[in-house]
Amino acid sequence: MQQGNEQAPLIRLSGVRKVFGGTAAIESLDLAIAPGEFFTFLGPSGSGKTTTLRIIAGFEQPDSGRIELDGQDLSRLPPHRRDVNTVFQDYALFPHLTLLENVAYGLRAKKIPSQEALQRAEQALASVQLGDFGARRPGQLSGGQRQRVALARAIVNRPRVLLLDEPLGALDLKLRHQMQVELKALQQQTGITFIYVTHDQDEALTMSDRIAVFNHGRVEQVASPWTLYEQPQTAFVAGFVGITNIIEHHGARFALRPEKIRLLSPDARPEGQEAIPATVKAVSYLGMSTRFLLHCADGRTLTVVEQNIAHRAEAPRLTQGSAVLAAWSAEAPWPLAA
């Protein structure tokens, strides 16, 4: 279920527009998200990704356009009548209720008998490794535990779509990596469609089936992680997803990823490759890799990343001021839309 366009979409936004105080937060947005997809809205802050999520949840009303869930128009439905649930950025756990009451809240609101609601809430808490914590209150939990409760509270309702608004933003890096894996596993287990908002490109690439890249209230590209990275359509996408060199050739612009450039000795004559003499301006050792900033003979600067694959510690081959030949295969540069 990687491609959204082959089957009827579960969520469809058409011509959605939202203006805040005279400036358009979202300019005429069209999106189709397939059932069971892990779909990510990626973009910098203020790009309209969170607003779009809030429009799907029903917290914001679009100024124009249509939102459909499984063919049904959602535009007129208040949030409590939409079959979607949200994991909030600040988790929004109810501080005066126990964890069990928090998780059972949605079930009780849907008039599920309290016996069954509590039972299902207990199971949901257990499934996020907080089975023994049911009687505690949110104030007694760590950030990571609150995050799990927020997740359990949403997922226990078995919504058609789960909306996640930067849910890992408040966690430290290690926990974030661990939760990325768990979230993806949970999504595959439950088969629930996830719409995930983040500004973190690593997070987006790690988990998503498809990613929509937001910029200034518009979607620049919707594609799989591989396509976004290897075949970005715009300079913004190329620059936001990973590091890139933008090179110009006969008036056209190309994205050239830093790991696709090889550094050769200045007298090498590689065959069938583009090559340009350059001087190393800066060297950053990053552990797994080393990043070089090159000053090219034609005045351009290029960023190059080399994997550190040598088995033994050896003196660095290149230092600041070294003369090199930067070379790449003719297919490596990817043409960008004008």
Partner 1 sequence: MRFDLARTLLWASVVAILAFLFVPVAIIMVYAFSASNIQGWPIQSFTLQWFARTFADDEVRSALWLSIEVAVVATALAMLMGLLAALAVYRIRGAASEAIAFAIVLPIALPGILTGMALNSYFVLWGINLSFTTIVIGHATFCTVIVYNNVIARLRRLPPSWAEASADLGAGPWRTFRLITLPMLSSALGAGALLAFALSFDEVIVTTFTAGAQTTLPLWIFGAIRLGQHLPEVNVVVCVVILLTIVPVLLAQRLMGRAALLHK
Q: Confirm or reject binding of residue 250 to partner 1 (CB under 8 A).
A: no
Return the closest-CA partner of residue 217 out of 4, 35, 38, 55: 55
**Residues 138/56/169/118 CA torsion (nearest 10 deg):** 30
Give Cα 197 distance to the centre of its chain. Answer: 6
CB of 124 to partner 1, least distance (A): 13
Count of beta carbons in the 10 Å neighbourhood of residue 96: 9
User: Number of C-alpha atoms within 13 angstroms, CB side, residue 323?
Assistant: 5
Pick from 35, 46, 65, 79 the residue near partner 1 by CB under 8 A.
Answer: 79
Tokens 């359990």 belong to which residue? 152
CB of 301 to partner 1, least distance (A): 44
- Is the CB of residue 8 less than 8 Å from the CB of residue 181? no
CB of 276 to partner 1, least distance (A): 53
Q: Confirm or reject binding of residue 110 to partner 1 (CB under 8 A).
A: yes
> Helices marked H in 58-172 — which ranges?
99-109, 114-127, 143-155
- Is the CB of residue 151 less than 8 Å from the CB of residue 135? no
Pick from 4, 9, 58, 225 the residue near partner 1 by CB under 8 A.
Answer: 58
Pick from 21, 71, 95, 299 the residue near partner 1 by CB under 8 A.
Answer: 95
Nearer to partner 1 (CB atom), residue 84 or residue 213: 84
Q: Mark the segment that binds partner 1 (CB under 8 A) among 86-94, 170-178, 309-317, 328-336.
A: 86-94
Interface mask toward partner 1 for 9-48; x: CB under 8 A: ----------------------------------------
CB of 334 to partner 1, least distance (A): 40
Beta carbons within 8 Å of 8's beta carbon, 6+ residues apart: 70, 71
CB of 25 to partner 1, least distance (A): 17
Six token digits for residue 194: 């996830």
CB of 91 to partner 1, least distance (A): 8
CB of 143 to partner 1, least distance (A): 13
Q: Confirm or reject binding of residue 75 to partner 1 (CB under 8 A).
A: no
Pick from 21, 139, 272, 299 the residue near partner 1 by CB under 8 A.
Answer: 139
Q: Confirm or reject binding of residue 217 to partner 1 (CB under 8 A).
A: no
CB of 93 to partner 1, least distance (A): 8
Q: Mark the segment that binds partner 1 (CB under 8 A) among 28-36, 85-93, 250-258, 269-277.
A: 85-93
Interatomic CA distance for residues 87 and 152, integer angstroms? 9
Give Cα 333 distance to the centre of its chain. Answer: 24
Q: Mark the segment that binds partner 1 (CB under 8 A) among 30-38, 55-63, 66-74, 271-279.
A: 55-63
Q: Coil, helix or strand for 309?
A: coil
**Angle of CA points 145, 148, 152, to nearest 5°:** 140
Return the closest-CA partner of residue 240 out of 202, 273, 184: 202
Q: Coil, helix or strand for 137?
A: coil
Interface positions with partner 1 (CB under 8 A) = 57-59, 78-81, 84-86, 88-90, 92-96, 105-106, 109-110, 139, 153-154, 157
